[in-house]
Structure 1
Amino acid sequence: MQKSISYIFHPIFMPLIGVLFYFSKSPRFIPLALIQTKLVPIVILTLILPLLVNVLLKSIGKIESLELKTTEERIIPLLIYSIIILIVVKRVLTPYEFIELYYFYVGVLVSTLASILLNVLKFKVSIHMLAISGILTFFIALSVHFSINILGSIALVIFIMGAIATSRLSLNAHSNIEILMGCLIGITPQLMLISRWL
């Protein structure tokens, strides 16, 4: 059960969830064709490509498992993921079309870079908590920005956060401080960037 929670709410899904939630809740009219032109490259770049990269890294012995248990194993995949997110920011999501999503992804990039820095310093943070806390912050900001009531969605994300934290601790994947640092690194960049679009 604990492992299932870690897989179902894997960090790799979170940026895509943010995009899907945005398109489903935005009161603005957005043509379906435009949504599709954004979703397709985002799915390929942030979901399929990282999975393929991690499988490749495992096959050539750069990582021992897809769970990336050590700080050393995490550095290369996170660097590659940072480049992927940078491509999304530069080529897929522009601030002129979807300023909210643009800065959400900039926040994801900053959080990922902060995680890389800490891994270089031999400190492992919970990327699961980093991802879900960033999503929570984005959802709350969207509710304020669009003046919409999404308390149910926010409550659900908080519940999921608790389930993920419990799962990671039960599996001995992280310590309490690593869980808390993951939350801090996920939330802080989003909060710092909210003023750009809220």
Structure 2
Amino acid sequence: MNAILRSISFIFHPLFMPFFGVAFYFSKTPRYIPDSYIKAKLTALIILTIILPLLLFYLLKTLGKVKSIYLSNVNERIIPLILNSIILVFIVLRVLPSNEFIELYFFFIGILLSTLSCLILALLKFKASIHMMAISGIFMFFIALSIHFSKNINGTLALFAIICGAVATSRLHLKAHSNIELIIGFCLGFFPQLILINYWL
């Protein structure tokens, strides 16, 4: 059971969630988008949201600024969150501007707002769950997409509701967060996406 719960924390690590959300969008959108264009966008996102943050993490680890990719210490979170915010700004300005994919543009604006909120709390010495923030944000985005595209994805939504619970259980089991840190993390991810649907739904 311990191995399973550790695997859940790794599989649904926040680094993977933005890419997964975009891939899901392209799989469900009724718009015609050339495969080459989709591949170019997904490749750019893999580089910017997964590979680059990992490289920056190993640089920070070499410099002694962080110890673990899970950023267990609240002080370790500040620099990675700042760097991630800069990456997200670049994505919304260059990779997914509003005139191309309005849904994805506001999805990443929501991620940026969540990240900045988490950064502010880190500066105040509060360690909100980034895992819950990521999974709840993508969960709300999927709900909005199902309404926007008038598609029945109830199976996917039910699965993600279960995943949200599994991630919370995993983080509690690993003693990475308290109940309140998980709840605050969930709210930080969920509500920015909920508020921003007013601008594109």
Query: TM-score normalized by structure 2?
Result: 0.97
1:174-185 pair list within 5 angstroms: 174-185=177-188
Partner in structure 1 of residue 105 of structure 2: 102
- What secondary structure, in the 3-state scheme, does the structure 1 residue paired with 2:83 have? helix
- What secondary structure, in the 3-state scheme, does the structure 2 residue paired with 1:137 have? helix
1:39 Cα deviation (Å)?
1.0
1:37 Cα deviation (Å)?
2.0
Aligned-residue CA RMSD (Å)? 0.7
Give the counterpart of 2:192 among 185, 189, 192. 189
1:41-80 pair list within 5 angstroms: 41-80=44-83
1:27 Cα deviation (Å)?
1.1
Match status 1:15 vs 2:18: yes
Distance 1:72 1:49 in 2: 21
Distance 1:65 1:130 in 2: 18
Distance 2:5 2:45 in 1: 28
Partner in structure 2 of residue 29 of structure 1: 32
Distance 1:51 1:78 in 2: 13
Amino acid at match of 1:158: A
Query: TM-score normalized by structure 1?
Result: 0.98
- What secondary structure, in the 3-state scheme, does the structure 2 residue paired with 1:195 have? helix
Partner in structure 2 of residue 120 of structure 1: 123
Match status 1:165 vs 2:178: no
Partner in structure 2 of residue 152 of structure 1: 155
Amino acid at match of 1:78: L
Contact 1:58 1:66 in 2 (8 A): no
Distance 2:70 2:150 in 1: 38
1:130-141 pair list within 5 angstroms: 130-141=133-144
Amino acid at match of 1:29: Y
Residue by residue over 1:54-82, the C-alpha shift from the partner in whole angstroms, topping out at 9 and shown as x without a partner, is: 11111110112222111100000111011
Amino acid at match of 1:28: R
Kindly report structure 1 stretches of 4+ aligned residues shifted beyond 3 Å: none
1:40 Cα deviation (Å)?
1.2
Residue by residue over 1:128-149, the C-alpha shift from the partner in whole angstroms, topping out at 9 and shown as x without a partner, is: 0000000000000000000000
Distance 1:8 1:152 in 2: 20
Distance 2:83 2:141 in 1: 24
Amino acid at match of 1:59: T
Partner in structure 1 of residue 8 of structure 2: 5
Instruction: Determine what percentage of the aligned residue pairs are the same residue.
Output: 59
